[in-house]
Amino acid sequence: MDIATGLGLLAGAVVLCTLIFMRGDLRMFLDIHATIVIFGGSFAAALIRFPLSSIFHGLPLGAKFAFLLRRMSQRDVVDELAGLVEVARKQGPIGLEKVEIEDPFLAKGVRFVADVYDGNFIRDNLTP
């Protein structure tokens, strides 16, 4: 889990507790009308912006990314890419087929390069 996700959850809890301690009541946050406006409006805005298949595919992936996946630091990404460049320089693109890559997005891109696909094909298949 990313540190920002944990900090966001903690900040939300702090805000709720602060409002309750300021003579508020937890029931003021459980208004059905406000809930419908917030979640219904957010879902409607998402439907306007994205196709339905992307929404249903993206919700579980977003939750998984936010709470479960380990994110690589920038230094780790640079080190991994430098290692891939070294393999490609010494053995050519075919040498990349033997390399184990944890990140599925990077692995897909490297597989395309190892299979000697056109740059436009790779760009079209890796961008949403």
How would residue 20 be classed by pLDDT, with cut points 50, 70 and 90?
A: confident
Digit-coded pLDDT (tens) for 26-69:
777 778 888 888 899 988 998 888 888 888 888 888 888 777 76
Q: What is the pTM of this model?
A: 0.47
Distance separating alpha carbons of residues 2 and 8, to the nearest angstrom: 10
